[in-house]
Structure formats: C-alpha cells, structure tokens
Chains A and B, each alone.
Chain A
Amino acid sequence: MGVLNNALPDVAPVKAVDGLIGWGRGSSIWPMTFGIACCAIEMMAVYAATFDLDRFGAGVPRATPRQSDLIIVPGTVNAKMAVRVKRLYDQMAEPRYVIAMGACVCGGGPYVKWGYNTVKGVHKIIPVDIFVPGCPPRPEALMDGILKLKEKISREAVFARRAATGAEMDGRYVQARPGGGAGA
C-alpha cells in the first residue's frame, strides 16, 4: 500500500475501505510466541482451551517476529532481556502492536525502587499500545487488552488522512476521569 498510506481524503468510500482493512487486521492478530517470566504462564492459559484466545482470531502464536503483528511482553524486562525485546520488535513488520502485560512491564512493578537491572516499564524501549496491569493479570484482563487492541486497530486510518485516530477511543477514558482533564 506504501504510497497510498494516509494519502487519500477522509471521505466515505475511503473510510469504508479502511474499516474493512481494520476489521480484517483486528480480527486476525497474530501474536508472537514470546514469554519472559511468570505472566507468560497466565498468557499461555489465555491461549489454551479454557479461555481460548482463538475466539478473537488471535490464537495463532507465530514462532518468528517477521510473521507477527503483536508482541505481548509478559514478564519483568531486565537489562539483559531489554536488548532482545528491542531487537525482536525491530524485526516485526508494520503494522505492529505491543501489549505490556503485568505490573513489571507497565512500570517496574515490585522492582521499581531497588531493581538495579530492571527496565522500569517496557515503554522505555518500545512504544506500547495497550497496558494490562496486574501481578499477574487475570486471563480475562489480557483478553480485555486484546479486545481493546482490536478496537484500536479497527479505528485506524489506513488510506484516509490520519485524522484524530484513536481520539474517539481515548476520549471515553478522558471523560471517565474525574475532572475530565486530559492526561492528568
């Protein structure tokens, strides 16, 4: 699609095509087979039969970053691992998405003060789309994160000029906040 990316006017037919692409992308998120620490156990439970992530089209973990759309980072990212996480993310093809799963990945968690080798949140290394807090998060929480990501993907502008994409979704949270201030 290259040159046409965000190059067309924001009119109804273009938006319809964008919606179709977004629906396709959001309904077949292929996550990477990737786990770091204890959150990965919970993530495996989400893939497995009881919770069955395949219901949302995201149940096909790919064994290589080059085939994946999504990297779920489950577990403490330490100094040794951070280099590898960055490298894996850099190998993924656009469009690519990141879910930060668990307290450690969202901001350091229990290692926030004395963790001499812990990266205080994977968002210091790679841009994160969805944060799923918890220690570890319940499988339902991760599923909710995937659904939020699906919603985010389906609202993305592909051909249409990049307007306030995602603002609609973010707006709900801004409104829900007491005082209604943005990014308080």
Chain B
Amino acid sequence: MNEATLHARLAASGVGGIGALDTSAKDPFVVVEKDALLAALAFLRDDPQCRMEMLHNVTAVERPEAMEVVYHLCSLAHHHSLTVKVRLPRPEGGTHQNWIPEVPSAAGLWAAADWHEREQWDLLGVRFTGHPDLRRILLPAEWIGHPLRKDYVYPTEHGGMPLELDAVPLYERREGAPLPEPKPPREAGTPLFQPPSPFSTRPAAAGGKTVEPGQDRPGNEGHS
C-alpha cells in the first residue's frame, strides 16, 4: 500500500482525531491528535493490511507554535512506510524552562520506542507519559536543560571541565585568580527561530514553488 491508502485505512478504522494526509513533504505524513495517538499507532501495528512491525525512529521538532513528535513506521512484510506526527501546542510564553510538552509513550507498542523516547527527553525535553524508565540517555544524569531547544543557554563548564572556547586551561588556573564573568542570560529581543533557509524545500521558502511528493529537490535528481 502507498501512503494514501494507508491513510485511508487509518481514517476508516474508527480511531478519531486523524488529520488529512499532508503530501507537500517528500515523505507524506499524517498528523494525529494527541489523545488518539496510541490508538492510531496500535491500529497501524496490528491491522493485517498495515502491519507496521517496525518503528524506525522517534524524533521531535521544535516549531514556533508547537513541539512536533514524529514517528517513522515501516512494515517489513508489506514494504510500505508512513510518518505519523503529533503536535503539542506551545502555551503563550512557553520556553524550555517552563514548558515540558507531554505525549503518551509508545514503548508499550514497540520496544524500540524506549531508547528513542529517552533521547527525545534528553535532548528536547519531551516527556513521554507512561514510559517505563524515562532517564537521560546521552548526557550525564546531572545535566541541566535540554540542549536542542531553541532557547538553550550553553553551559560554561560541567563537572569542573571547561566547555568554553576561551576558558582558562585547568592547569593554568591559580588560587585566588578572578573567576570568569558568568554568561549573561538570553537577551529578550533575540528571535528564537531563524528565517527559513533558501535550501529548504518547503513551499514558503522555495519562493512559492511546491515540490511534489516523490520529486527530488532541484539539483538532486537521481539521488533519491
């Protein structure tokens, strides 16, 4: 089945909250309501026509208006795949200090989700409720903050080890020497998001030119 028939089957499954299939991206995706997420994923896994036995990847994207959690599913039996997204809207003034988006964990459906969700928790601060063991997976347990958030403030040191480019080497530090100035917090007017790159294939960035699904970005023909 292709993405369109998979989406039609999912929409007809009786699981509510299934959005339309978005074919503007290279990989067509379907946006699912947060409450319907687990039911939709379970349907895609268990339905004999879909049989998504494999969860490739769980990732997250921080956007100005929401945090997107992305599930890449694929079926080894039927040789098809589908991307499922869930959008967790950002509250007014939500920054990474005060906004931890929550989404139900898929670790009960695919064992692979366990570590992937831990990675998203570690780097982007998405809390997966019902996860069996939601600890940091890459960074040290005592790390502060989630580094891939847009408003992350970079640490000056960790565990006594300097992390800054202009840090004074450890063996050159002297007793009573003045400590380096603490880093100023993020400036109020700094934009969280940069303008889109001209290399992006999104219609808004490509000057209104829509890239059809299956079509490669310009200059990349034959390298799909």
| Chain A interface size, under 10 / 10 to 19 / 20 to 34 / 35 or more | 10 to 19
Q: Does A82 belong to the interface (CB within 8 Å)?
A: yes
Q: Does B139 belong to the interface (CB within 8 Å)?
A: yes
Is A119 within 8 A of B161, CB to CB? yes
Q: Which residues of B contact A127 (CB under 8 A)?
A: 169, 171
Q: Which residues of B contact A107 (CB under 8 A)?
A: 165
User: What is the total of A-B residue contacts with beta carbons within 8 Å?
Assistant: 52
Majority secondary structure, B binding face? loop
Against B, the Cβ 8 Å flags (1 = close, 0 = not) of A102-118 are: 00000110001000111
Is A116 within 8 A of B152, CB to CB? yes
Across the interface, name the chain B residue whose C-beta is closest to A107: B165
Q: Does A135 belong to the interface (CB within 8 Å)?
A: no
Is B147 within 8 A of A117, CB to CB? yes
Is A126 within 8 A of B171, CB to CB? yes
Is A119 within 8 A of B171, CB to CB? no
Q: What's the least CB distance linking A94 to chain B, in Å?
A: 14
Separation of A93 and B59 alpha carbons in the complex (Å): 46
Residues 100-152 of A contacting B (Cβ, < 8 Å)? 107-108, 112, 116-120, 123-127
Q: Does A83 belong to the interface (CB within 8 Å)?
A: yes
Q: Which residues of B contact A117 (CB under 8 A)?
A: 139, 147, 158, 163
Q: What's the least CB distance linking A140 to chain B, in Å?
A: 29
Is B162 within 8 A of A124, CB to CB? yes
Binding site for B on A (CB under 8 A): 79-80, 82-83, 86, 107-108, 112, 116-120, 123-127
